[in-house]
Amino acid sequence: MEVLELKLALTQGQFLSVLGAALAVLLAGIGSAIGVGIAGQAAAGVVTEDPSKFGQTLLLQALPGTQGIYGLLTGFVIMQKIGLIGGNIADVSTTSGLLILAAALPIAFVGLFSAIAQGKAAASGMGVVAKRPEELAKGITYAAMVETYAVLALLASILMIFGINI
Amino acid sequence: MAKVDVKKMSVIALRRDKGKLVEILQKLGKAEIIDIRDKIPQEEWSKLFETHESARELNEIQGKLGEVQFALEFLAKYVPVKKSLFAEKEVLDEVAMEKLSRSEELWAAVKECRDLEARLNALRSEEMRLLSTVELLKPWEGLDIPVQEIKSTEKVALFTGSLPADAVDSVKAQLNEKVPESSLQVVSTDRELAYVMLVYRKSMEQQVSEILKDNSWSKIDLPPVEGTPAQAIEQAAKKQKEFEDIRRQIAEKAAGLSEQRPNLEVVYDYYNLVSSRASVARTAGNTRETFYMEGWVAKPDMERIEKAVLKRLPEAYITFSDPGEEDDVPVVLKNPALVEPFEMITDLYSPPGKGDFDPNKLVSIFYFIFFGMMISDAGYGIVLTLLGLWALKTLKPKGILKKLMGLITLGGISTVFWGAMFGGWFGDLFKARPLWMNPLDDPMSLLLVSFVLGIIQIFVGLGAAAYKNIKSGNVLDAVFDQGLWAVLLVGLIMFAFPQLGGVAKVISAVGAVGLVLTQGRSKKNIFGKLTSGILSLYDITGYLSDVLSYSRILALGLATGVIAMVINTMAKMLGGGIIGYVLMSVALIIGHVFNIAINALGAYVHSSRLQYVEFFGKFYEGGGRTFNPFMVKTKYTNLKSEEEF
């Protein structure tokens, strides 16, 4: 009996949508945390040598943080969509719930992995800051190349969510 | 376009006028000095000029500069610099600076700084010694014997040392058994070791050492101190206090010396000025009575430099010539004030190289549009614009900082425009009807607009490449490489409009066939020609991904708007009552400041990327070197010229 109830709950549209929102925030957030962490370690190394480079390294460290924001943003759009924020949760069908869950996946997974990769690129960019601080923009550009894919995933996720009718 | 011609300036003048000439050039700040010592080989040099000038004068100045810098850094440690970043700099002329540099008080202060530093260092090493003594004595604190008395006598051996804590009992037992009249006193134990004092008759040496050897005994010599260990430790603590007092005295003295800081700053700038002059003077080639010097100048500045030099040094001979093929000519750009800030974007990529024209006018238009669309919030735009204008007005920045502030101001204006178009005023904080449309309602239209903007920029890029080819005489390259691609792309785009389907097929086919036939033209045999031609069509994917890349304009714009909404929603949850409103305001301010910062950074980075990868990839090579004129560079003060240059 209990198994059946659980099964019912798991296929409920509301649950699936919230799961989608949670995944977007969760995975992209984890990715950003790792990425910012990697970049931060390298930044600390550079600043040990030259504390005046704090601002520049901070800029570079912030770059892998955007995926987490994109994840939050997607989660927020989903919450808004199903009325979770207003307080009146809409009656979401199982199909719509699954669709929303699927729509959250691009930013969730691309966010996770691209933030980590971007963190590594940013960490290497710290070397640029250490040796040739005037070339900071190039270090930033390399890291930003990675972010392109997170931006594309965000776009895909959001367009899909906008397009789903509940 | 806006690349200014650069000429090589050659000056010959009397050697006694060298200092004067260098000073004139520095104050004009319009010429980049060429170090001819790098250019002319040694044998040739010795035929033309006397041997290189000694670096004695330069070293002397740099030595003084180093001293002043040391004093400034030393003082900064004790008396933090309170001057705000935005304080106006003192304006001084060089005579006043020079006078200050001879001030006895100032040099006395510098010497005092050195002395204090030396005392501090001595103090530090003394303290380290003390600390290590205390560290050594700590386990022996319970020993009630003056340290000097812990030594063997003629017949009795007395040692201090350590044993593993768990071995003490067995050593005691063995000693009791084999060595009568011995004593093992445990003074203290820590986790691993027992610190013990051992007394025995010297005649039993053999037996004792056997027992000890088996039990990892290690002898410890106590440091030579007065009194018992406990007394010595107390003494050390007293000393430590004294050190603190001395430190405080030194800090007070340093605080007193910091009165000289404004003067030290002036003198620092003075020596910097003079040392840069001295190092430029050393680049000259000398004969007995004259010297020769070279530099790069922008063509429009030629006349001014010539006039300024000849007015003061009528005997000087100055000519301007075109740079040679092998010369490493710097790039001088001249753009309208509104375009100038965008030079920063191009410069960060790479200044225009020999074959490039200055792309900044094109960059400025696209960058301006993209930056605004990526933030697309009128409220944020107003904040950015005000911030930029305020910084330009109060900080009076120079160089790249000035360009950055200009960029923020202009970007802010564009942001206000797009924000108003899309109805974003701090997200949905202030509800305003969008002048055009709300991207959240119809993201697909805006996506299309982003693509169209991208296609326009790509075509402009192709046009720029064609222009470059035509200018360098390769008209055929322009037709084949850019023209045919333009034809093919136009054809492909026309497929998007069903009513044009027929024409689209024809045009794309013309373009594609043309490309297949021409792209392999550099290959020798027919097979190679065809393969390269067909493979070149693969570049279509490149163009496709280029266009898709512009979707980031929409994505970043949406991101700003939605994050702003999140901030507003969360802040409003706090509302209610006076405290609620205060909290709400705080949350709104912090949230929106964060959003502005993160999105301005994002817009800067991604607008740049679109220029670098999608746009510059089509036509721009870069590789130029920025013009770096020899000029007055001061850190703390502004130099007032005693005469107009």
pLDDT computed for residue A125 by the predictor? 93
Does B609 contact A at CB distance below 8 Å?
Answer: yes
Residue of A62, A70, A77 lying closest to B601 (CB–CB): A62
Query: Does the beta-carbon distance from B552 to A151 stay under 8 Å?
Result: yes
B148 to chain A nearest CA, in Å? 45
User: For B601, which of A59, A138, A158 is closest by C-beta distance?
Assistant: A59
Mean pLDDT of B224-248: 89
**A132 part of contact set with chain B, CB < 8 Å:** no
Question: How would you write B196-244 as a 3-class SS string?
Answer: EEEEEEHHHHHHHHHHHHCCCCEECCCCCCCCCHHHHHHHHHHHHHHHH
**Minimum-distance CB partner of A73 among B548, B559, B608:** B559
Residue pointed to by tokens 């768990």: B166
Out of B81-90, B180-189, B372-381, B552-561, give the one with best mean pLDDT: B372-381
CB atoms A158 and B565 under 8 Å:
no
| Among B440, B569, B606, beta carbon nearest to A85 | B569
Would you state the pLDDT for residue B397? 83
Token pair for B173: 């037992």
Nearest Cα to Cα of residue B327 among B626, B41, B39? B39
The pTM of this model reads 0.78
Q: In DSSP terms, which residues pair with B292 in a beta bridge? A: B12, B285
- Rg (chain B; Cα; Å): 39
At residue B164, the 3 state secondary structure works out as strand
Instruction: Please give, rounded to a whole number of angstroms, the shortest distance from the CA of B202 to a CA of chain A.
Output: 56
Asked if residues B232 and B137 have their Cβ atoms less than 8 Å apart, the reply is yes
| pLDDT tens by residue, B525-579 | 888 888 888 888 888 888 988 898 898 999 899 999 989 988 998 898 887 789 9
Residue B43, pLDDT score: 86
Helix (H, G, I), strand (E, B) or coil at B294: strand
Q: What pLDDT is recorded for position B382?
A: 97
Q: How confident is residue A118, by pLDDT bands cut at 50, 70 and 90?
A: very high
The answer, for B544 touching chain A at a CB cutoff of 8 Å, is: no
The confidence score (pLDDT) of residue B626 equals 87
* Closest-approach residue (CA) in chain A for B603: A144
How far away is chain B from the Cα of A144, in angstroms, using its nearest Cα?
Answer: 7
Distance from CA of B609 to the nearest CA of A (A): 7
Check whether B1 has a pLDDT greater than 60.
no
Residue with tokens 């100048």: B297
CA-based nearest distance B604→chain A, Å: 10
Selected residues 58-97 of chain A with any CB under 8 Å from a CB in chain B: 59, 62-63, 65-66, 69-70, 72-73, 76-77, 85
Identify whether the C-beta of residue A155 lies closer than 8 Å to the C-beta of residue B555.
yes
Q: What is the CA B310 to chain-centroid distance, rounded?
A: 40
Q: Are B410 and B400 in contact (CB under 8 A)?
A: no
At residue B211 the predicted structure's pLDDT band, cuts being 50, 70 and 90, is: confident
Mutation target to probe the B interface, by most B beta carbons within 10 A, among A69, A134, A149 is A69
Chain B environment of A145 (Cβ under 8 Å)? 609, 613
Q: Do A70 and B559 touch (CB under 8 A)?
A: yes
Contact across the interface for B606 and A72, Cβ inside 8 Å: no
CA atoms within 13 A on the CB side of B225: 25
Closest Cβ–Cβ partner in B558, B598, B602 for A158:
B558
Q: Which chain B residues are Cβ-neighbours of A76 within 8 angstroms?
A: 562, 565-566
Strands B637-640 and B90-93: parallel
The distance from CA B302 to its chain's CA centroid, rounded to whole angstroms, is 33
CA distance A135 to chain B (A): 7
Q: Is the dihedral of CA B124, B129, B132, B134 positive or negative?
A: negative
Q: Do A152 and B555 touch (CB under 8 A)?
A: yes
Return d(Cα B616, Cα B353) in angstroms, integer. Answer: 13
pLDDT value at residue B339: 94
Q: What pLDDT, on the 0 to 100 scale, is given for residue B3?
A: 87
Given a cut of 80, whether residue B388 has pLDDT beyond it is: yes
Is the CB of residue B377 less than 8 Å from the CB of residue B564?
yes
The pLDDT tens digits for B272-330 are 999 999 999 988 888 889 999 999 999 999 999 999 999 999 989 999 999 988 888 99
Closest Cα partner for B565 from B388, B471, B431, B372? B431
Choose the mutation target among A158, A160, A161 for the interface with B, i.e. most B CBs under 10 Å: A158
When CB atoms are compared, the residue of B551, B605, B613 closest to A152 is B551
E strands present in B413-523:
none
Q: Note the pLDDT of residue B532.
A: 87
B598 touches chain A (CB under 8 A): yes
- Option in A73, A147, A155 nearest B551 (CB): A155
- Spell out which residues of chain A touch residue B447, defining contact as CB-CB under 8 Å: 155, 159
Q: How many CA atoms lie within 13 A of B5 on its CB side?
A: 11
- Distance between CA A164 and CA A17 in Å, rounded? 11
Interface residue A128 vs chain B (CB under 8 A): no
Residue B156 forms beta bridges with which residues? B201
Q: How many CB atoms lie within 10 A of CB B233?
A: 18
CA nearest to B609 within chain A? A141
The conformational region for residue B622 under phi > 0 = left, psi -120 to 50 = alpha, else beta, is left
Smallest CA–CA distance from A65 into chain B, residue: B598
Task: Identify all chain B residues contacting A159, using CB atoms and an 8 Å cutoff.
Answer: 443-444, 447
The enclosing H or E element of A69 equals: helix A66-81
Round to whole Å and give the CA distance between B524 and B249.
Answer: 85
| CA–CA gap between residue B524 and residue B600 (Å, rounded) | 51
Which of B137-146, B160-169, B238-247, B539-548 is predicted most confidently? B238-247
Element (H or E) spanning B93, and its range?
Answer: strand B90-93
Q: A140 to chain B: nearest residue by CA?
A: B605
Inter-chain residue contact A65 with B598, CB threshold 8 Å: yes
**Residues in B 324-353 with any Cβ partner in A closer than 8 A:** 348-349
A76 and B566 in contact by Cβ < 8 A? yes
Find chain A residues with C-beta within 8 A of B349's C-beta: 137
Average the pLDDT over B420-427 and give the result.
Answer: 94
User: pLDDT digits over B427-467, tens only?
Assistant: 999 988 999 998 888 888 898 999 999 999 999 999 999 99
Chain B residue closest in CA terms to A71 = B559
**CB contacts, 8 Å: B548 with chain A:** 152
**B598/A155 touch (CB, cutoff 8 Å), yes or no:** no
pLDDT tier for residue B86 given thresholds of 50, 70 and 90: low
Instruction: Examine the pLDDT at B80 and tell me if it is beyond 60.
Output: yes
Size of interface A-B (CB pairs under 8 A): 68
pLDDT greater than 70 at residue B402: yes
